Structure 1
Amino acid sequence: MNNIKEYLQRTINIILLFLFIWIIVALCIANRIDYACKINWKISNIGLIIASLLIIYLYCKKVKERAFQRINMNRLVLIATIVLFFLEVYICYNIFFETGWDSGAYIIPAARALLGKLDVTSMNEAYFKTYPNNLFLVHIYYALLRINEKLGVFTGAYQLMVIIVFNCAISSMSCWLTYIIARKYASIKYSLLGYILAVALLGVSPWNVICYSDAIALFFPIFIMYIYTEDRINIYVRNFIILVAGYLGYCIKPQAAIVIIAIIIAELLKITHKYEKSFWIKEGAVILCSVTLIAVIAGGLKNLYNTEGFEQDKNRQFGLTHFFMMGLNPEYRGVWSGEDVEISANCKTAEQRRETNLEVSKKRLNNYGITGYAKFLTKKMLTNYNNGTYAWGAEGSFYAIVPDNNSRMSHFLKNIYYNDGKYYGIYSQVVQLLWVMVLAGVAISSILGLKRKPCQSNIQLILQLCIIGITLFELLFEARARYLYLYVPVYILLFVLNGDYLEGYLKKKSTKK
């Protein structure tokens, strides 16, 4: 059984290594390829990769663990996280705007309609019958707006700041959880590096100001990972929380379920006979209770939606086959396509839509051929991975409503975060460098995984499976860099959890010389 587990762990590591060789090579030739949402970085990715490797090497060699041992780093990071939260709120207030696309066209108007007890029939017909998964998000926003209405904190043009404060709380907490998880498996030195990267890529990210699922869904993968690694929680309670949290995350953004799949696979690879019969009886009871609660929540939400006027129609819903078809669109290079939306919308039944989607998908695959499809997937890989801002500003009508704020700090911060800002080029290049460094770190981790014995802990295996899962998901379905956003802490963790091993490996190499 151990041999089978080790073989499967090696196989998963090899798959991850293959994907990251693909990613790194694609990044190196990105300027020569035409792909969706392309950005021509002033500093080439080859230069950024070299700089990243140099930074990683110097951090391993020059930064000493003993420098942090006299400091209560856990307390310091907690204080820094509280400060970070207020900093995030301050930044978001000064760069505040209401975005367009799905958020401004349907999600926020629906939440405001519920707040004002208005009719939602037209919005349901136009959008939510097709994309009912966003109804849970609407109700989260409605609850926040209602609380704000009672308290009267944010009014007028800044009403949505209550949602953004919630986003900031999630972002800062996600940074803190990244550090806490890293600290369980890595030295202070590399845990702190993980925290710094999380703060730079998530904590001060402008995505906190966007009222959409990406900002809220960020919490679920890292929270579930934290619960999974928290041994102080009873194992049965732990599994119950994981399953329920996974379902709630799925209701907000389907990609959030990937972490649950990863945990299930990792658990199945454990030696089953080490558990007694009583364990499986209790575990079965936990699963039964979880499924029952999930069914109650699902039923309750459905009844709530129907009562409010959000009646659902299975024949109008777009399923996975639609997004698979859209992910194959040659003209739009695998991103959102109005042409494909029209194809699916013209189908009268769910079965007809599924058959049409698969038929169009089959034709497109045949037209590509094996070589053509590989080239197409490489372009999608760049759409997903070659953007450290996670395609900030790429959605339609992005800066839809920008309220007047003429303060000097607002002007300065807008110059950093707005796409047409004076300093945006510097900001985007810095986060691109940090993102490339994380990707290079994951690639190094996958190489080191071939040199070391498979880990007894499941944590690294789960991290690997999450990254493989989200990468394959975005390759097969609609591509978007922001869809990786909720798994950024996972990428960071896989990088820093191998930091101590990398440092030891470098020391061993230098000693031999």
Structure 2
Amino acid sequence: MAFALACVVFAAPFVDYSCKTVASTLNAAYVVMAVLVGTGLVALVKLPASARLLKRMRTRKAFLLTVGIGSVLLICLQAIIVKTSWFYAGFDVWCVTNYGNVEQTQYFSMNVNQYFMTGLFQRIMGLGLAVGLENGYLCLVAIGCLCVSASVVMAAFIGKRLGGYLVGYAAFFGCFVFVGLSPWILVPYSDTYAMVWTTAVIWFLVCIDNRAAKCLGMAFCSVVAYEIKPTGIFIAAAIVLTALCQLARTLAGGRSLRRQGAHCSNENSVLSWNWRQVVACCLCAALGLGAAFGIASKVKDIGFEGDPEAAFTATHFLMMGFNPETNGIWSGDDVAESQSHATIAERQSANLRIWAQRVQDAGPVGLAKLFVKKTCTNFSDGSMAWTREGDFYFETPNTEGFWVQAYGIGDEDHEAPFVPLFQVVWFVVLIGVAAACFLVRSADVPVRSLCLALFLLCGFVLLFECRARYLILYMPCFVVLAALGWQQLSRRFACPATMS
């Protein structure tokens, strides 16, 4: 994350990369503003008057009341935003919300990962029409908003559990603004729909104490997150890897203790579990996996029989990620190249051959330049590449109003007014995440899992097709880690009198 921060500050203003915005040319100024905002908030919290207020706010009742009222306010604001500024999105959203169009036959054959989203959207729109709603698309937007709002609430409780009440409040209000009021709530797609499931995985891990319920919930949510968006599996992979590392250390420590004649008394240690607990957790995880895969198989049944040999695999996106002409984003030429091969085996072989040739042609210096450009594409835009998709607007029924103007809806030629604000907030988040990765010395699985999940996400968008939008489903995780990072910064650089 420190590398990403360095790229967006020192490289983004001067390097030509895909999806570059006008705001990125002023990134150095935005970072300075972010530092001032972050340190200003820390100083404000440490004022005597604020300290007295926060002392009263550090209770379970006050926290629940604040989050409850804030959540209702967020949902009301989202309802106003949707009512006054909703639009029909283009690009992939059009395909998964207009299933049945003859033009989509080839699309679904190539993108088999979209079956679940399409089936889910079919059922949501059908339910909306069944209860008397005239616009099924608006039902999708509304459910997407609820997914985002639920993610904001879970992020607050995750932050509180990991860093205390202050971190919980910071995570809630940070997500409230940066996630809950993002214009992406108006786009019903996998980014917002997967967000609630990736956040739920961490919520089960952190906030649920019953081990059986924890395993069942994490297993179920991990599968749903993966079915909606394959990168949603990173959080589950990170938890498993972190837990295995902790298990190895615990077993090594347990052997050392036994050699010394001691025993492990930590009830959270794996060594303290008896075989019944292990079996119960495994059974619950299997139940969660089975239920999720069973539901997914039903949802993915959209009555479409595509060509299984036409599917694009990971090698296609790896090839696109190293395209020197597009700097790693979507490429029509690469799509045409993959389509020219009749079978998956031929396509994968061709993809890997082109990828290897591109790596060889670029050389070490060329690859370094490409990675810098891709990092700028992924992390330099606080709007998460708003309107930077092909055919972003399909139809815009609303052309006037405060939120239409603030989000720049319908106007792809000019930068939206909300972008500078989100650019500053994004850099506050990035600074906090970088600080958390270096300063948080927690041996707990959740914190290390969050760091590892974001590392896996960064590695994916660095090697495969890149897009800032691909970060959205993990945005609550970014904000929670950022709150922990700023907490550590405030402790690390506070004077002794303040720390007391």
TM superposition score normalised by structure 2: 0.88
Q: How does 1:17-416 map to 2 (within 5 A)?
A: 19-41=1-23, 44-63=26-45, 64-71=50-57, 72-104=62-94, 106-110=95-99, 113=100, 122-123=102-103, 125-153=105-133, 155=134, 158-232=135-209, 234-270=210-246, 271=250, 272-297=270-295, 299-301=297-299, 304-305=301-302, 308=303, 310-403=304-397, 405=398, 410-416=400-406
Contact 2:318/2:465 (<8 A) preserved: yes
**Shift of residue 68 of structure 1?**
2.6
Counterpart selection for 2:432 from 441, 459, 474: 441
Shift of 1:273: 3.6
**% same residue:** 25
* Equivalent residue letter for 2:235: V
Q: Following TM superposition, by how much is the alpha carbon of 1:124 offset from its aligned partner in structure 2, in angstroms?
A: 5.2
Alpha carbons of structure 1 residues 284 and 384: separation in structure 2 relative to 1, 3 Å: same
2:253 alignment partner in structure 1:
none
For residue 98 of structure 2, give the secondary structure of its aligned residue in structure 1: helix
2-side partners of 1:245 and 1:489: how far apart? Answer: 16
Contact 2:4 2:379 in 1 (8 A): no
Instruction: Tell me the CA shift for residue 359 of structure 1.
Output: 0.2
Matched letter for residue 286 of structure 1? C
How far the C-alpha of 1:386 sits from its partner, in A, is 0.6
Change (3 A) 1:277 1:20: same
Structure 1 residues 146 and 295: alpha-carbon distance in aligned structure 2, compared to 1, 3 A threshold: closer
RMSD: 2.3
SS at structure 1 position matched to 2:88:
coil
Q: Does structure 2 conserve the Cα–Cα contact (< 8 Å) formed by 1:24 and 1:440?
A: no
Aligned twin of 1:7: none
Quick check: 1:194–1:492 contact (8 Å CA) kept in 2?
yes
Structure 1 SS opposite 2:307: coil
- Structure 1 pair 59/291, CA: closer, same or farther in 2 (3 Å)? closer
CA shift in 2, pair 1:411/1:293, >3 Å: closer
Shift of 1:230: 2.0
Q: Residue by residue, what CA displacement relative to the aligned partner does 1:18-43 show, whole Å, maximum 9, x if unpaired? A: x4234324432211100000012177
Cα contact 1:132–1:317 (8 A) shared by 2:
yes
- Quote how far apart the aligned CAs of 1:185 are: 2.2
Residues 408, 415 of structure 2: 8 Å contact kept: yes
CA contact (8 A) 2:155 2:171 kept: yes
1:65–1:189 contact (8 Å) kept in structure 2: no
Displacement of 1:285:
2.8
The answer as to whether partners of 1:176 and 1:195 remain within 8 angstroms in 2 is yes
After superposition, the Cα gap between the structure-2 partners of 1:159 and 1:511, relative to the gap in structure 1 and judged at 3 Å, is: closer
Matched, 1:458 2:458: no
Give, in angstroms, the shift of residue 186 of structure 1.
2.2
Does the C-alpha gap of structure 1 residues 422 and 393 become closer, same or farther in structure 2, counting only changes over 3 Å? Answer: closer
The 2-side partners of 1:186 and 1:135 are apart by 39
CA distance in 2, matches of 1:335, 1:379: 11
Cα deviation for residue 167 of structure 1 reads 1.0
- If the length of structure 1 is used for normalisation, what is the TM-score? 0.86
Alignment partner, residue 8 of structure 1: none
Q: Secondary structure at the match of 1:269?
A: helix
Aligned length: 468
Q: Deviations over 1:53-84 (max 9, x none)?
A: 22222222221343233241321221111121
What letter corresponds to residue 460 of structure 2 in structure 1?
F
1:202 maps to a residue whose letter is V
How far does the alpha carbon of each residue in 1:60-118 deviate from its partner, in whole angstroms, 9 at most, with x for none? Answer: 222134323324132122111112112102102211110111111x21111xx4xxxxx
1:346, distance to aligned residue in structure 2 (A)? 1.0
2:477 paired residue number: 490
Q: How far 1:224 sits from its partner (Å)?
A: 0.9
CA distance in 2, matches of 1:421, 1:353: 35
- Counterpart CA distance in 2 for 1:203 and 1:26 is 24
Structure 1 residues 184, 423: closer, same or farther in 2, change over 3 A? Answer: farther
Post-superposition offset of 1:249: 1.0
Task: Give CA deviations for 1:159-217 in whole Å, capped at 9, x if unaligned.
Answer: 41111111111111111111111111223333222222211111111111112111211
The structure showing larger relative contact order (alpha-carbon pairs under 8 Å, at least 6 residues apart) is 1
- AA at the equivalent of 1:57: T
* Partners of 1:263 and 1:447 in 2: CA distance: 19
Corresponding residue SS for 1:393: coil
Q: 1:52 to 1:510 in 2, by over 3 A?
A: farther
| Contact 1:175-1:489 at 8 Å conserved across structures | yes
Alignment partners' CA distance in 1, 2:65 and 2:413: 37
In the aligned structure 2, how far is the partner of 1:97 from the partner of 1:469? 33
Where do 5+ consecutive residues of structure 2 fail to align?
A: 251-269
State the distance in 2 between where 1:193 and 1:284 align.
35
What SS does structure 2 have at the residue aligned with 1:211?
coil
SS at match of 1:31: coil
Q: Which amino acid aligns with 1:56?
A: G
1:190 & 1:296 partners in 2: Cα distance?
Answer: 38
